[in-house]
Amino acid sequence: MKPTYYLTTPIFYVNGAPHIGHAYTMIAADVLARWKRLAGYDVFFLTGTDEHGQKVEKAAADAGKDPQTFTDEVSAIFADIARRMNITNDQFIRTTEPRHKAASQAIWKQLEANGHIYLGGYEGWYAVRDESFYDEAELVTNAQGQKLAPTGAPVEYVTEPSYFFRMSSFGERLIAHIEANPDFIGPRERRNEVLGFLKSPEGLKDLSISRTSFRWGVPVPGDDAHVMYVWLDALTNYITAIGYPDMTGPLAKFWPADLHLVGKDILRFHAVIWPAMLLAADLPLPKRVFAHGWWTVEGEKMSKSVGNVIDPRELADAFGVDPLRFFLLRETTFGTDGDFSRASLIRRMNVELANDLGNLAQRTLSFIAKNAGGVMPKRGETTPEDATLAAHRDALVASVGAAIDRQAFHEALETIWVVIRSGNAYIDQQAPWTLKKADLVRMEAVLANLLDLLRVVSTLLQPFMPESMAKMLDQLGVPADARDFASLATPIAEGTALPPPAGVFPRFVEAA
């Protein structure tokens, strides 16, 4: 029986076209999912779209479409982005699916049966852009005297009947859970923020969980005048996808989730509201919620009005999907903010992909093609330099895996790059081109060491750059069914024929 691993991205609002921020979360989650599969896990990887609520209803009206037609169209764009980014999600959930309405109503009924829902009235501020309620004290006033949410979103004053979730009664249990489980929220600083919020004098309040001023949502069971607050339905997607309310099928196998990967904007929904809902419904809590940082583009916040929203498909057309995936995870510490610029993407492509990794592979493989019969060379006696290189190589899978388990993707890549650079230093130092004239046995041994190194590096980089590494592993003579981490223990047999080498990472030259 394989161990299981269940991970999710947020489900994205279909109010507008996806951009690199959305692609970022999908790609990071995909690297993790692919890594875990290669490490022998039975992975369930979920992404999808969040299609209810006032914001989506408004966007549909602005587009002159009925909400279902509109969400069908925009959801298809998100699914297309996932496909183009090579995302290996096992399911793409849409909250307008009948099974999801059923699951949302089921959890509502469970909360109600457990005594955690009551009818009242909401009077206060609401930001449609954030689909979030705000206290008067949280609001800021801009230069025009307009009241705004702390996120900058416009707010409106709402008075309407509403059902409430008794969230306030879960504060103590949430604090205890977070304190007893240091890995429940990452990164560490964000965990402290959540604890600070829960322990603040305002503490946890009851949450308004239904709306009556519009219709685009899941109807509240037994009271059709209300639709559920969009976040209540949205968060439930994580259990809809695995069969809730049926507790015996995939849910029994995959719940609790191993990881909810989200952006920092929605951590509180995932680290406070969702766990409170689960506690109230007598369901186990996810093992971890990790909040990554925020991308700007060429130094500016992405927005339709600035006109700098980048479609990740355009970037993939211009630079390739793998360089884009690599760049997004390499450029900044996962968990902190990043700035996207074409210049830095091109720099990393040329320095790290073309020069460091591409050259190491190209130099080694073309030398073997020309001077060692185009086959896996014979391994020889081990010198101290060889032993050092091999030790670094063999430590990689564990150290990179540990970084990935902490969602430290940047660190995982840096650890691999240190070894790639030491491979380049090794080839320069050992100089097989000189050995060619003096010591063919040693020349072969050096080349074999380089191929053994390249095989490990390419195997471990598959989750980050799946297409390029498939090409690389083809050239290294690694059979398609021997590319998981368990196969690393079986070296390529000497004499294995290698296909003619072809560069995997050309230098990117900006068109004049």
Query: Minimum distance from CB of 328 to ligand ME8 (Å)?
Result: 9
CA 189 to chain centre: 19
Establish if 417 lies at the interface with ligand ME8 (CB under 6 A).
Answer: no
Per rule CB under 6 A, is residue 58 in the interface with ligand ME8? no
Task: Tell which one of 7, 11, 46, 427 touches ligand ME8 (CB under 6 A).
Answer: 11
In whole angstroms, give the CA distance from residue 183 to residue 404.
Answer: 14
Q: Which residue of 7, 10, 57, 443 would you call a contact of ligand ME8, by CB under 6 A?
A: 10
Between 43 and 93, CB nearer to ligand ME8: 93
Q: Are 401 and 512 in contact (CB under 8 A)?
A: no
Q: Which of 135, 136, 265, 298 binds ligand ME8 (CB under 6 A)?
A: 265
Say if residues 504 and 375 touch (Cβ distance below 8 Å).
Answer: no
Q: What is the DSSP letter of 63?
A: T
Burial environment of residue 233 by CB neighbours within 10 A (0 to 12, 13 to 18, 19 or more): buried
The verdict on 50 binding ligand ME8 (CB under 6 A) reads yes
Q: Are 45 and 258 in contact (CB under 8 A)?
A: no
CB of residue 339 to ligand ME8, shortest distance in Å:
10
Question: Does 35 sit near ligand ME8 (CB under 6 A)?
Answer: no
DSSP class per residue in 115-153: T-EEEEEEEEEEETTTTEEE-GGG-EE-TTS-EE-TTS-
Rank residues 262 and 416 by Cβ distance to ligand ME8 and give the closer one: 262
Minimum gap (Å) between residue 369 Cβ and ligand ME8: 43
Does the footprint of ligand ME8 cover residue 485 (CB under 6 A)? no
CB of 319 to ligand ME8, least distance (A): 19
User: Among 5, 6, 7, 12, which residue sits at the site for ligand ME8 (rule: CB under 6 A)?
Assistant: 12
Q: Specify the amino acid at residue 120.
A: G
Question: Does residue 13 bind ligand ME8 (CB under 6 A)?
Answer: yes
User: What CA–CA distance (Å, rounded) separates 480 from 473?
Assistant: 8
Taking the least distance from each CB to ligand ME8, the nearer of 10 and 186 is: 10
- Does 26 bind ligand ME8 (CB under 6 A)? Our answer is no
Report the nearest approach of ligand ME8 to the CB of residue 202 (Å): 23
161 touches ligand ME8 (CB under 6 A):
no
Q: Is 156 helix (H, G, I), strand (E, B) or coil?
A: strand
What is the rounded distance in angstroms from the CA atom of residue 448 to the CA atom of residue 439?
Answer: 14
Which residue in the set 7, 39, 235, 498 belongs to the binding site for ligand ME8 (CB under 6 A)? 235
- 266 binds ligand ME8, rule: CB under 6 A: yes
Q: From the CB of 102, what's the least distance to ligand ME8, in Å?
A: 17
Run of H or E residues at 163: strand 156-165
Nearest in space to 77 (alpha carbons), one of 137, 13, 130, 28 = 13
Residue number, 262 or 281, with CB nearest to ligand ME8: 262
Least distance in angstroms from the C-beta of 284 to ligand ME8: 18
Instruction: Give me the amino acid identity at 324.
Output: L
Tell me if 312 sits within 8 A of 84, measured CB to CB. Answer: yes
- The Cα–Cα gap between 112 and 220 comes to 11
Cβ contacts of 189 within 8 Å, gap of 6 or more: none
Q: Binder to ligand ME8 among 6, 7, 21, 285 (CB under 6 A)?
A: 21
CB closer to ligand ME8 out of 229 and 485:
229
Shortest gap between Cβ of 91 and ligand ME8 (angstroms)? 14
Strand partners, 263: 292
Using the contact rule CB under 6 A, the part of the chain among 6-14, 201-209, 358-366, 405-413 near ligand ME8 is 6-14
Structure tokens at 392: 């670094």
| Matching residue, tokens 């650890």 | 415
Query: For ligand ME8, which residue of 5, 24, 163, 170 counts as binding (CB under 6 A)?
Result: 24
Q: Are strands 132-134 and 117-127 parallel, antiparallel or unpaired?
A: antiparallel
**Among 161, 171, 256, 263, which residue interacts with ligand ME8 (rule: CB under 6 A)?**
263
State the minimum distance, in angstroms, from the CB of residue 372 to ligand ME8.
Answer: 47
DSSP tally for the chain: helices H, then strands E: 19, 17
Strand partners, 208: 164
25 binds ligand ME8 (CB under 6 A): yes
Pattern 275-314, binding to ligand ME8, x per CB under 6 A?
Answer: -------------------xx------x------------
Residue number with CB closer to ligand ME8 (296 or 424): 296
- Is the CB of residue 443 less than 8 Å from the CB of residue 463? no
Please, is 503 exposed, middle or buried when counting C-beta atoms within 10 Å of its C-beta (0-12, 13-18, 19+)?
middle
262 binds ligand ME8 (CB under 6 A): yes
- Least distance between ligand ME8 and beta carbon 262 (Å): 5
Q: How many angstroms separate the Cα of 444 from the Cα of each of 64, 371, 420, 451, 495?
A: 69, 9, 20, 10, 11
CB of 352 to ligand ME8, least distance (A): 22
Residues in the site for ligand ME8, rule: CB under 6 A?
10-13, 21-22, 24-25, 50, 234-235, 237, 262-263, 265-266, 294-295, 302
